[in-house]
Structure 1
């Protein structure tokens, strides 16, 4: 923007000097100015669209290069080098053609601007010769010297003004972000504090809850009503798109509730400051979330616990030997936890969730990417968590004695039916609605029930897989 302003002033100064030195050149400036404006308008529109297409075709080049590097062993194993080589060259050629088009538009406008500058200079010289007796030679020499620089300045000015306009798309994007709806306030931002001692248990109640991802979209949860007492473990099942993950999102207030109320230990969650609510909720996602830094900073990001507590929770998930071998809590953690196996990353996230000592622990298909041994270990640890059999920094919790005992609540979304058969309660969702609920054994015996059909289908698939293996 500064370059555009500076060069624009220089161009204007050159034209003013020419008009002072040779006043009769002013009628020539008017058509040249119209031509200049039309050229600039056409160039900017074309340049912006060509630049956008060049950027769009550049991303697949980087993606293909990165994917090829990561998959080199597989590519070589299947002898697919030539296919990937040809695919990469094809993407590179497409991007290069748009880059060539972008350079061609610059040359196109550059040649025409040079013509305008040459016409201005020639008009000034010829008209000055025609009225040489009435003009000052010194002023004319100064004006012609400035006009000679127009050849380069006009091109640079148009390019810089085009860059300013193209860069303003980033400003537009920033302004769009400022208009997004904000999250509810936290405690320090004026959010409401809960009553002292809340929550005494992790009891959860959904009362006629409707929810959608944003206004105008169809609801993902409909008429959802259920109640889970403290110390209860609950499995959530349903086909893809049934609303299992959406239920978790409403509990964490990541999506707003259009209608109805969610209660945690008898208190409406929407009336509590967001950070206070989420401190009582822990989640283990399907894809483990880890950051570069140290093992300790990933396990205890806010540095609230002692080393003894950290080692205790690592022992609870049987990661203590692996972490000790890696160098202890001060050992570095690679980006996304690449120095740990997939199972170890999931166990590490489990340890972090247990360390939070929240009243509700949610597992969103947390065992989908691990083997059955690791799955069993995770299930055992979270069962202890739900029934209060483990507290970090102390002995067994005395506030939970099974369902209804005022302890924590465990919510499990599982892709393996057998991992939720030992939960205290089951919620079966379909198209965002609760179609069945009750103990797993009772639902399994219900003739013609949705969950009974899922169990039969899972067993048939397992039997078919075992027969195929034999």
Structure 2
């Protein structure tokens, strides 16, 4: 029993880690399958079905490999436990055989062997049951980890609520802003200090991984700053509630999001505006004619994720939400990355006309999107490299001018 206990402890040290790793290999299989099914039309159009199928098989093999190793370790444990129990049974039988004739009654010998045999079988069963239970308890461990995730800050902080007219100007000031996604992770933004003046159009550019999206996440407090401050119209945003902050900021995301329901609930989910205001917003974002032809008008249905509308129309619906709220700060997080150039031009024109007095922050995907901005912020590896008017940056050998040159050279090649 002591030897079996030692072997069991030796097994559990490795088996638990294999189960933990196996838990991380299942999610990619399911995610890849769901994402592939959503884009199956595009995959077939480009004749890439074999490539995606091979990628899926690699993910399945990775998951099956961990599952196989988990079962192999269990068989390793059972084999050694059975060897120990067989050795115990053999030793007991050997010593009984060595006893002098007539020293023990034959019935007692059979009873002793039966008892030893049942004891070994019971211990094998108990060992296997206990180890399986220890492996399955890893699921409880993962649930406990999710339960211990720190919650978001409160939606409303009563003694720190901003005025109803805030922000009235839209001035954003960043002071030595540093951000990391986990306490033990490296810094993503490394001490950014600059000011977005009220009523200006600011373009944020940089290579992949430079920190553009992280900067936008910090404005909406999707991730809290490690140090530094973000001040909007004289109020530090980290001191107020999340609802008070996010209701005063508008964003058009890269991937437009629509919800199952009606056009009205997608444009005005909180039921704050009248039908006339919604129709005016639809007219400005050039969707009024399309919606007017529908039999149910504003009550027309929207399917899950807006699949019954085109990508450009979904992006214009997001613009309609922004037009209804009329906030002083608007963020475009690569809002034109997934739409065609004509729809991009329409969206940019509407934003210039309707948000002329607002602070507009544009995370650029196409360089021409930010050429007409008042200021351009260039980020590189989480640091602020340049912050100047685009015309001045183009006249010098700047980082921004190199990005523009690379963009145009790639356009000529394609």
RMSD: 4.4
Corresponding position: 1:436 with 2:387: yes
Match of 2:346 in 1: 377
1:363 deviation in Å? 0.1
For the residue of structure 2 that corresponds to 1:339, the secondary structure is: coil
Match of 2:236 in 1: 268
For the residue of structure 2 that corresponds to 1:169, the secondary structure is: helix
User: How many angstroms apart in 2 are the aligned matches of 1:356 and 1:93?
Assistant: 49
Aligned match of 1:312 in 258, 280, 301? Answer: 280
Instruction: Give the direction of change, closer, same or farther, for the CA distance of 1:244–1:84 in structure 2 (3 Å limit).
Output: closer
User: How many angstroms apart in 2 are the aligned matches of 1:58 and 1:203?
Assistant: 45
1:327 deviation in Å? 5.2
Q: Is the 8 A contact 1:244 1:429 kept in 2?
A: no
User: How many angstroms apart in 2 are the aligned matches of 1:107 and 1:93?
Assistant: 21
Aligned match of 1:285 in 229, 253, 257? Answer: 253
Aligned match of 1:337 in 287, 306, 310? Answer: 306
Match of 1:30 in 2: none
CA radius of gyration, larger in:
1
Q: Which sections of structure 1, spanning at least 5 residues, go unmatched?
A: 1-32, 388-401, 403-407
User: How many angstroms apart in 1 are the aligned matches of 2:217 and 2:267?
Assistant: 23
User: How many angstroms apart in 2 are the aligned matches of 1:210 and 1:308?
Assistant: 42
Equivalences, count: 404
User: How many angstroms apart in 1 are the aligned matches of 2:193 and 2:319?
Assistant: 28
Match of 1:16 in 2: none
Q: Name whichever of 167-176 and 101-110 sits farther off.
A: 101-110
Corresponding position: 1:298 with 2:266: yes
Match of 1:415 in 2: 365
Match of 1:237 in 2: 205
Aligned match of 1:203 in 154, 164, 170? Answer: 170
Instruction: Give the direction of change, closer, same or farther, for the CA distance of 1:218–1:100 in structure 2 (3 Å limit).
Output: closer
For the residue of structure 2 that corresponds to 1:375, the secondary structure is: helix
User: How many angstroms apart in 1 are the aligned matches of 2:309 and 2:397?
Assistant: 45
Q: Is the 8 A contact 1:203 1:266 kept in 2?
A: no
Task: Describe the superposition over 1:159-183 as per-residue Cα deviations: whole angstroms up to 9, x where unpaired.
Answer: 3322332233334334444555543
1:410 deviation in Å? 1.5
Q: Is the 8 A contact 2:173 2:232 kept in 1?
A: no
Match of 1:254 in 2: 222
User: How many angstroms apart in 2 are the aligned matches of 1:418 and 1:460?
Assistant: 14
1:374 deviation in Å? 0.8
Q: Name whichever of 80-89 and 338-347 sits farther off.
A: 80-89
Q: Is the 8 A contact 2:167 2:232 kept in 1?
A: no
User: How many angstroms apart in 1 are the aligned matches of 2:70 and 2:206?
Assistant: 51
Instruction: Give the direction of change, closer, same or farther, for the CA distance of 1:169–1:375 in structure 2 (3 Å limit).
Output: same
Q: Is the 8 A contact 1:210 1:219 kept in 2?
A: no
1:100 deviation in Å? 5.1
User: How many angstroms apart in 2 are the aligned matches of 1:70 and 1:235?
Assistant: 32
Q: Is the 8 A contact 1:225 1:434 kept in 2?
A: no
Match of 2:321 in 1: 352
Corresponding position: 1:212 with 2:162: no
Task: Describe the superposition over 1:114-172 as per-residue Cα deviations: whole angstroms up to 9, x where unpaired.
Answer: 67777888969x79x9766999xxxx99x999988767654543333223322333343
Q: Name whichever of 316-325 and 343-352 sits farther off.
A: 316-325
Q: Which sections of structure 2, spanning at least 5 residues, go unmatched?
A: none
User: How many angstroms apart in 2 are the aligned matches of 1:257 and 1:337?
Assistant: 34
Instruction: Give the direction of change, closer, same or farther, for the CA distance of 1:155–1:355 in structure 2 (3 Å limit).
Output: farther
1:260 deviation in Å? 3.9
